[in-house]
Structure 1
Amino acid sequence: MIRWGIIGLGNIASRFAKSLSYTNEGKLYAIASKTKEKRDAFHNKYNCEKVYEDYDQLLNDNEIDAVYIALPHGSHKYWSIEALRRKKAVLCEKPVGLNAEEMKEIKTEALLNNTFFMEAMKTRFIPLVHEIKEIIKNNEIGEIVAIEANFCNHVENINPGSYLLDKKQGGALLDVGIYPLSFVMDMIDSEVNEVNSYMDINESEVDAYFKATITFKNGVIGTVEGAIDRNKERTAIIKGTKGFIEIPIYNRPSMVTVNIDGNQPYTIEKEIEFDDMYAEIQEVHNSLRDSKLQSDCLPLDESIRVMEVLDRIRINAGQK
Structure 2
Amino acid sequence: MIRWGIIGLGNIALRFAKSLSYSNEGKLYAIASRTKEKRDEFYDKYNCEKVYENYNELLRDEEVDAVYIALPHGFHKHWSIEALKHKKAVLCEKPVGINSEEMKEIKKEAVLNNTFFMEAMKTRFVPIISDIKRMIRNKEIGDITAIEANFCNNVENIKPGSYLLDKDQGGALLDVGIYPLSFVMDMIDSQVKSVKSYMDINESGVDSYFKAILSFEDGVIGTVEGAIDRNKERTAIIRGTKGWMEIPMYNRPNKAVVNLNSGKSYTIEKDIEFDDMYAEIKEVHNCLKESKLESDYLTLNESIRVMEVLDRIRMNAE
Compute the TM-score of the two structures, normalised by the length of structure 2.
Answer: 0.99
Q: Secondary structure at the match of 1:282?
A: helix
Mapped pair 1:53 → 2:53: yes
Equivalences for residues 110-121 of structure 1 within 5 A? 110-121=110-121
Alignment partners' CA distance in 1, 2:225 and 2:180: 7
Tell me by how many angstroms 1:263 deviates. 3.7
Aligned length: 318
Tell me by how many angstroms 1:160 deviates. 1.1
Q: CA-atom RMSD, angstroms?
A: 0.5
Mapped pair 1:15 → 2:19: no
Q: Secondary structure at the match of 1:267?
A: strand
Equivalences for residues 242-253 of structure 1 within 5 A? 242-253=242-253
Tell me by how many angstroms 1:270 deviates. 1.2
The aligned residue for residue 104 of structure 2 is: 104
Tell me by how many angstroms 1:255 deviates. 1.2
The aligned residue for residue 305 of structure 1 is: 305
Q: Secondary structure at the match of 2:170?
A: coil
Alignment partners' CA distance in 1, 2:220 and 2:160: 40
Q: Deviations over 1:92-120 (max 9, x none)?
A: 00000000000000000000000000000
Tell me by how many angstroms 1:264 deviates. 1.9
Alignment partners' CA distance in 2, 1:267 and 1:184: 20
Alignment partners' CA distance in 2, 1:303 and 1:83: 18
Q: Secondary structure at the match of 1:276?
A: coil
Q: Deviations over 1:9-53 (max 9, x none)?
A: 000000000000101100000000000010001100000000000
Alignment partners' CA distance in 1, 2:290 and 2:265: 40
Alignment partners' CA distance in 1, 2:296 and 2:105: 20
Equivalences for residues 1-320 of structure 1 within 5 A? 1-317=1-317
Q: Secondary structure at the match of 2:17?
A: helix
Q: Secondary structure at the match of 1:57?
A: helix
* Identity value in percent: 78
Q: Secondary structure at the match of 1:168?
A: coil
Alignment partners' CA distance in 2, 1:29 and 1:79: 18
Q: Deviations over 1:237-278 (max 9, x none)?
A: 000000110000000001110111214210111110100000
Alignment partners' CA distance in 2, 1:89 and 1:154: 35
Gaps of 5+ in 1: none
Gaps of 5+ in 2: none
Q: Secondary structure at the match of 1:31?
A: strand
Q: Deviations over 1:214-235 (max 9, x none)?
A: 0000000000000000000000
